[in-house]
Structure 1
Amino acid sequence: MLYWGDMSFILLIPAMIFAIYAQGKVKTTFDRYLRVRNSRGYTGMQVARRILDSQGLYDVPIELTGGHLSDHYDPRKKVLRLSNAVYNGSSVASVGVAAHEVGHAIQHAKGYAPLMIRNFIAPIASFGSQAAWFLFVIGLMFPATGMMDIGILFFLVAVLFQIITLPVEFNASNRAIGLLENQGLLSSGELVPTKKVLQAAALTYVAATVVALSQLLRLLMIRGRRD
Structure 2
Amino acid sequence: MLLGTYIVYFAIILLLPLYAQMKVKSTYNKYSKVRSTSGMSGAQVARTILDANGLHDVKVIESRGFLSDHYNPMTKVVALSSHNYNEASVAGAAIAAHEVGHAIQHKEAYSFLTLRHKLVPIANISSNASWIFVMIGIFASMGNMLLLGIVLLAVGVVFQFVTLPVEFNASSRAMDQMVSLGIIRNEEERHAKKVLSAAALTYVAATAVAVLELLRLVLIFTGMNRND
Give the TM bin, normalised by the shorter chain.
over 0.9
Amino acid of the structure 1 residue aligned with 2:80: L
User: How far apart in 2 are the matches of 1:142 and 1:129?
Assistant: 20
Q: Is the 2:68–2:80 contact (alpha carbons within 8 Å) kept by the matching residues of 1?
A: yes
Q: State how many pairs are aligned.
A: 223
Distance 1:40 1:115 in 2: 30
> 1:81 is paired with a residue of what secondary structure?
strand
TM-superposition CA deviations, 1:105-135 (whole Å, max 9, x none): 0001100001111111011112222221111
Question: Corresponding residue for 1:178?
Answer: 176
Deviates more, 1:162-171 or 1:140-149: 140-149
| 1:214 alignment partner in structure 2 | 212
1:68 is matched with 66
Gaps of 5+ in 2: none
Aligned equivalent of 1:149? 147
Check the 8 A contact 1:44/1:87 in 2, yes or no.
yes
CA distance in 2, matches of 1:149, 1:167: 28
Cα distance between partner residues in 2 of 1:54 and 1:12: 47
* Aligned ranges 1:22-61 → 2 under 5 Å: 22-61=20-59
Shift of 1:85: 1.1
Partner SS, residue 64 of structure 1: strand
Which amino acid in structure 1 is aligned with residue 179 of structure 2? E
SS class of match (1:146): helix
CA-CA distance at 1:143 after TM superposition: 4.5
Q: Distance in 1 between matches of 2:17 and 2:142?
A: 36
**CA deviation after TM superposition for structure 1 residue 142, in Å:** 3.8
Q: Distance in 2 between matches of 1:73 and 1:162?
A: 18
Please give the alpha-carbon distance, in whole angstroms, between the structure 1 residues aligned to 2:132 and 2:60.
39
**Gap runs ≥5 in structure 1:** none
Q: Would the aligned equivalents of 2:31 and 2:90 in 1 still touch at CA under 8 Å?
A: yes
Change (3 A) 1:200 1:43: same
Residue deviations 1:71-91 (CA, integer Å, cap 9, x gap): 000112221111001111110
Distance in 1 between residues matched to 2:126 and 2:142, nearest whole Å: 21
What code does the residue aligned with 1:58 have?
H
Structure 1 SS opposite 2:194: helix
1:79 aligned residue? 77
Contact preservation (8 Å) 1:12, 1:211: no
Alignment partner, residue 223 of structure 2: 225
Deviates more, 1:134-143 or 1:69-78: 134-143
Q: Which amino acid aligns with 2:172?
A: N
Find the aligned partners of 1:162 and 1:9 in 2 and give their Cα distance.
Answer: 24
Contact 1:43 1:89 in 2 (8 A): yes
In structure 2, what is the Cα distance between the partners aligned to 1:190 and 1:145? 55
Which TM-score applies when normalising by structure 2? Answer: 0.93
- Paired letter, 1:31: N
| Deviation of the 1:13 alpha carbon | 2.0
Q: 1:224 to 1:37 in 2, by over 3 A?
A: same
Give distance in 1, aligned partners of 2:4 and 2:149: 18
Identity of aligned residues (%): 46
Q: Which residue of 1 aligns with 2:192?
A: 194
Q: Any idea what the Cα deviations from partners look like across 1:39-58, whole Å, max 9, x if unmatched? A: 11100000100100111111
Let me know the Cα RMSD of the aligned residues: 1.7
The residue identity in structure 2 corresponding to 1:95 is A
